A and B are shown apart, each in its own frame.
Chain A
Amino acid sequence: MRSPAYVRMRGITGALLIVAGATIAVRSIGVMGADARAIVPVVMGALFVAAGFLRVRDYLRLRSGDA
């Protein structure tokens, strides 16, 4: 059984990761445009979003008591 503080932290950090990833990806595309080199920061941003999504999913599962 996870503590409520742990569950909340999963949700907060997950949301922060999604925001950070989206910001990095969007800003990189905005600055670098169609340059192929933009793929690296965009992939990095996408990974942030993916990691955040996993944490938010974990948070929702823990909150509903499935895990």
Chain B
Amino acid sequence: MTVAAAAKAKEQPTLRRSVTPWGSFSWGYSDVGADIFVGLGLVLGAAAGASNVAFLFAGMVYVCIGLAYTELAAAYPVAGGGQYFVYRGLGDIFGFIAGWAVLLDFTIDIVLFAWSCIDYLSKLPILPILSYTAHPWIHFIVVFVVIAWLAGLNVWGVRESSAFNELVSGLDVVSETAILFFGFLFAFDPALLAHTMAAAWPTPFNLMNGVSLAIISFVGLESISQAAQETQRPASVIPRTSISLILTILIFALAYSNLSLGMHTWHAIPPDAHGHPQMLWHYLGSEENNGAAVAVLASNVPYWGALAALYVPVLGAILLLISSNSGVFGSSRIAYAMSRAQLLPSIFQRVSPSRRTPAVSIVAFCSVATVELIFAALPSLSPGVHAIYAHLFRGEDGITFLGDLYAFGAAASYSLVFIALIALRLRDPQSPRKFKMPINIPFVYKGNRVEFPVVAVIGFIGIMSILVFTMITHEIGRIAGPSWIVLGVIGYIAYRKRKRLPMFHSQPRDWKKAQIAILQEAGELELMDEYLANVKAMKLQAPPGAPKP
């Protein structure tokens, strides 16, 4: 590096490392932990007596995704997460597609959780004035104000946002545990669970629908990777926080679904609209309650339910709010990373000199989220648009529109991440991996000893099946998801053509130099030395004329 280049790099503001281990866990938890508040009712409505099976299937795939992200985020601790891994493993065009799909997810995340946050608040019995937010126009305006406020909070700085997440995540872990504790202690009955599973087993189509919705409940590990560039000692911290997060979320998802199917309620369940008696799972999955299923479930837990009815709507709303905040954080960081890699215009890598946050990206993607909000809210705001949606999309409402796109974006990007993990294992065996996915087959590839990750293949098959389920069962996801990708690729080609960069090939990059800079910047100096030693050893082993590592 020349003196001038070094000086320029010193002048350019970068993201500061202020996220602690608990902060890293909170970023992930605040995103994934809130998903069950939205996902539980939707999955119960679709998969009925097999909701716990749907959560188990999606959960197993999520474990594979989590392990893949843990390995990659610890080895490459840079902002960008899945997008960066795909970009590095599979090249520019696939890196763009993965990043574009994740951007769709993060912008949906902003709207979906801000939307649900207001839904939960409207269920608060002690403040009936909040029920006015159920009016479509008031709901739309309040959600818009929430998005604008979160954008401001993130432009202000990550330290402030992290502190906010950390506090609320801690409160939520305690509260969710309390609900489950009282539920399982006083009301859970395995015989009722067995009866519900046998009596209300869904059709294969509904089970597929349930599985595709259940994956919504596990989206968010991306946030840990996103925060990697701002986490202190990421290679050591990321594996620890990721494993804790995977276990916590999986337990919560399975526990809530089993409890919903096998719990004797504290209060009698009211009959359905036709006057027929209904079970708890049916009541939670109904249109009336599926937006606030966790609050309704909690209020039916013996003893604790009296208190839970008062605080769970608030708790749900707060957690959904911070999940929405994670969407703002994630989308801005991924755009920052993509811009640095010349996959998006350079304006997205501008960091505010005073606050050191990617202000332009934050504002831009909150604007995209606002457009999505308009699309989601239009059917409720205009009867004419409602008729068009009913004609084209079987009358799917706004929240389902967002959920469809959320599932599509997640499944598409995660599929590419698994392939990238395999590619990086083969192409970059020199990078030290403080954490590796279990079950590997060692073999020699191009003169290097590498390990083939079996779990990545299992995860890929799992997430591909969920992508297929999403395409089969969701009208909007089938059309709008691929359209988003196609439009993005057209924009990418136009940008690369204008910049005279290769459109379908990757730019030549010095990954060795990049990896040294990444580890140095992360403060992982021991890993940097290990990396240099690995590179040197492979150079010595390589036969004359073999490609450079």
Binding site for B on A (CB under 8 A): 20, 24, 27-28, 30-32, 35, 37-41, 43-44, 47-48, 50-51, 54
Contact = CB atoms under 8 A, between A and B. Distances in A.
Contacts of B247: 47, 50-51, 54
Contacts of B188: 24
Interface stretch (B77-85, B193-201, B213-221, B295-303): B193-201
Nearest to B194: A32
Nearest to B190: A31
B454 interface: no
B255 A31 contact: no
A30 to B, nearest CB: 8
A33 to B, nearest CB: 9
22 contacts: A27-B190, A28-B190, A30-B190, A31-B190, A31-B191, A31-B194, A32-B193, A37-B194, A37-B197, A37-B198, A40-B258, A41-B258, A41-B262, A43-B254, A47-B247, A47-B251, A47-B254, A48-B251, A50-B247, A51-B247, A51-B251, A54-B247
A44 B194 contact: no
B60 to A, nearest CB: 9
B52 A32 contact: no
A43 B194 contact: no
Contacts of A39: 56
B197 A44 contact: no
Nearest to B53: A40
B52 to A, nearest CB: 4
Given A44-B251, A44-B254, A47-B250, 18 more contacts: A24-B184, A27-B190, A31-B190, A32-B190, A32-B194, A37-B194, A37-B197, A38-B194, A40-B53, A40-B254, A41-B52, A41-B190, A41-B258, A43-B56, A44-B255, A51-B247, A51-B248, A54-B247
Interface string B245-267: 00110110011001000100000
Tell me if B's interface is mostly helix, strand, loop or mixed.
helix
A28 B262 CA distance: 11
B184 to A, nearest CB: 7
Contacts of B255: 44
A48 B254 CA distance: 10
A39 B190 CA distance: 12
Interface string B171-191: 000000000000010001011
Contacts, number: 48
A49 to B, nearest CB: 11
A30 B251 CA distance: 21
Nearest to A29: B190
A24 B247 CA distance: 17
Nearest to A25: B190
Contacts of A38: 194
Nearest to B251: A47
A37 B56 CA distance: 11
A40 B214 CA distance: 15
Nearest to A28: B190
Interface in B252-290: 254-255, 258, 262
Nearest to B255: A44
A48 B251 CA distance: 7
A31 B190 CA distance: 6
Contacts of A41: 52, 190, 193, 258, 262
A34 to B, nearest CB: 12
Contacts of B197: 37
Nearest to B257: A40
A35 B191 CA distance: 12
A2 to B, nearest CB: 13
Interface in B193-236: 193-194, 197-198
Contacts of B262: 41
Nearest to A41: B258
A40 to B, nearest CB: 4
A41 to B, nearest CB: 5
The 5 lowest CB-CB distance pairs between A and B, nearest first, are: A31-B190, A44-B254, A40-B52, A28-B190, A32-B194
B457 to A, nearest CB: 22
Nearest to A30: B190
B193 A28 contact: yes
A27 B258 CA distance: 14
A66 B240 CA distance: 16
Contacts of B194: 31-32, 35, 37-38
Nearest to B177: A13
A20 B184 contact: yes
Contacts of A24: 184, 188, 190
Contacts of B254: 40, 43-44, 47
A38 B193 CA distance: 9
Nearest to A47: B251
Given A28-B190, A28-B193, A32-B190, A40 B56 contact: yes
A56 to B, nearest CB: 14
B58 to A, nearest CB: 12
Contacts of A27: 190
Given A20-B184, A24-B184, A51-B251, A44 B258 contact: yes
Contacts of A32: 190, 193-194
A54 B184 CA distance: 21
